[in-house]
Amino acid sequence: MANKVTSSLVLNIMPLIEISNLQRHYEMASGVVKALDGINLNIERGERIVLLGPSGSGKTTLLNCVAALDSPTSGKYLFDGVDVPREKSEEMTTFRRENIGYVFQFFNLLQDLTVLENILLIQELSGYKNRERAIELLKLVGLEEEIDRFPAEISGGQQQRVAIARSLAKRPKLLLGDELTGNLDSKTSGMVMEVLVRACKKENITTILVTHDENLTDYATRVIRLDSGKITSDEVTS
């Protein structure tokens, strides 16, 4: 019993993500491109991180390595104290399914399914289906009145809120977003971010968002800037 309690305490104390000297290089005709060049980064549970940087800075590559969508060339990456699989597609898929939620710029909702059915499908693919949980998530993002509508019948901001609810459906430990407000106007973007922050706080989910939008730093607890594959600044904001 004591060992179980100790193990639980250690898991809660250690960072969710530990990255050491992470490299991602690509062989090109013109030579080697260092998309990531020695990234060192620890991320604690519950943090809301915004990754900023110009195009080609390495922020999306870093996000893909964190999500096990891509394998680093070298370096260490621990998630919950365990080495993240690399170069093994089946193990990488299992890791993503068990730990990662995504929110995309273009929503990626299935147009022939209702708002509620989009959530239920993700639950089913993750191995369980819970209608009450799905409705609870839609209430959390303020869309309980829209559950029977189709994506084409609601606004872009509402669709992105459905996408947030869908990403939380399998209770991920980590939520990733790549330019998730890039397709929205500034007012709608603010509304979506407020929903995202509220939902992730309630669900106790760590968040990493890649963006060009400096305004999103208002919703972060930490802002990390990249350039040429390196971290150039790392600032705790709240």
Secondary structure class of 129 (helix, strand, coil): coil
Give every CB contact of residue 50 below 8 A, 6+ residues apart in sequence: 209, 211, 216, 217, 219, 220, 222, 223, 224
- Is pLDDT above 90 for 124? no
Measured distance CA(234)–CA(231) in Å, rounded: 7
Superfamily (CATH) of domain 13-109+173-236: P-loop containing nucleotide triphosphate hydrolases (3.40.50.300)
The percent of residues above 90 in pLDDT, for the chain, comes to: 55
pLDDT tens digits for range 161-213: 898 888 888 889 999 998 888 877 888 888 888 888 988 888 889 999 999 88
Tell me the one-letter amino acid at 190: G
The percent of residues above 70 in pLDDT, for the chain, comes to: 95
pTM, two decimal places: 0.85
User: Binning pLDDT at 50, 70 and 90, where does residue 3 land?
Assistant: low
